[in-house]
Structure formats: C-alpha cells, structure tokens
Amino acid sequence: MKALLLRDLKLAFRAGGGFGLGIAFFLIVVILVPFSVGPESSLLTKIAPGILWLGALLACLLSLDRILALDWEDGTLDLVATSPLPLEAVVSVKALAHWLTTGVPLVVAAPLFGVLLNLPAEGYIWLVTSLALGTPALSVIGTFGAALTVGIKRGGLLLSLLILPLYVPTLIFGAELARRGAEGQAVSTPLLMLAGITFGVIALLPFASAAVLRVNLR
C-alpha cells in the first residue's frame, strides 16, 4: 500500500494534478469575488467563509478525473484488481493520495487567501479546522465518482454532475462552521455534523467504490 501511495503521489504531480493547479484555481476564485460583489469590507467579511469553502471545493473537483483514469488507460487498474490487495484498500489509498496533493495544500493556503476577503482574525482557526475536517470527505466522495465514470471517454463533465450534489452537505456544514467561528458563535453543531459526514463517508464509500470498480472491470 505504501508503494501504491508513493506511485499515485508521483503521478499526480507529473500529470499536472498536483497542489499547484488547485491552489492557482483557488486563488483565482478568491481574487474574482471582490470584482463581482464589490470591494466593501463588511460584505466581504460576511461572505468570506462561504467563498473560501466554495473555492476549495471547486479546486478539489479539478483533479478528480485523474484519480483512476491514468490507471485505467495504462492497464494498471486491471493488474491491481487481480492482486491480493483488496480493492477497498486501493480506492482508499487513491483517495488519500488525492487529499495529500489537493486537500492539504488548500488547507494550508486558505488562511492566506482569507486575508484577501477580510476574514476576521477569529475565523482563521475555524476555517482551517473546517477544511482539514471536510476535505477528506471531498476526496473520498470524488474517488467514488471517479469509480462510477472510469472508462467513459470525456467523463469529466459527467463526474462533476454526479459528484456536486453529494458535496452539498459537506459544503453547508463546512462553511457554517467557518462562519460561526468567525462571528464568535457556538460551533459545536456544525462541527459534529461535519465530522459525522467525513467519518461516515470514509467508513462506507470505499466499499461502494470497490463494488462499482468490480462492475466496470468485468
């Protein structure tokens, strides 16, 4: 599993799906928002948590089609499927590789981009907490979508249409956690809900992704 993880990390950077692409897209979203809603500081402060979370979500979406597509094209996926390693472990490793190359850089960069949106000082710790807790769910759900669309030519648009509705609960509670933290309100409810979604997704979706892959590989 360690060798598979290292291989996926190397492929992610070589194929252009590394942290640079996601952070660049995240930065573009953050820069464009003040142009669209105006430079008023109070308005930017109010919408900053939601915009930062939406930008992170869309940045994660960029590289989802590469999670399994490269292995499908070169036949590696067929070899892995016939190896002693369970498919559930394979998809879990690929989700982890996606999170390490996409989610973690976004978590690190989010506080810096929060400055551009006038995020209150109290909100930075909760923004980082919400992204660190929520982005693993985005990667696992994205891996499930990649398993559904593997082998489909130009399946990137279909993948986005399938996955975006599944991302909505994570987006709602992640942005709400960051917003409440920035405003000094109680954060226990969105924190617990976001944690429940993430842990539930991590526990269940690898089995669903593996089942879908077995069907697609027949």
> Looking at the 3D structure of the chain, how many domains does it have?
1
**8: Cα within 13 Å, side-chain hemisphere:** 28
- Which residue, chain included where needed, has tokens 């891996």? 143
Closest listed residue to residue 127, CA positions, set 174, 196, 60: 174
The overall longest dimension of the chain from CA atoms, in Å, is: 58
Residue 130 token pair: 């919400």
Q: Are 4 and 90 in contact (CB under 8 A)?
A: yes
- Which residue, chain included where needed, has tokens 């709400």? 176
Burial class (CB in 10 A: 0-12, 13-18, 19+), 157: exposed
Range of the domain at 158: 2-216
pTM for the whole thing? 0.90
pLDDT tens for the chain, 218 residues long, are 777 777 777 766 765 555 678 888 899 988 898 888 887 888 888 899 999 999 999 988 888 877 887 777 777 777 777 777 888 888 999 899 889 988 999 999 999 999 888 898 889 999 999 999 999 999 999 999 988 888 777 667 788 888 999 999 999 999 999 999 999 899 999 999 999 999 999 999 999 998 988 887 77
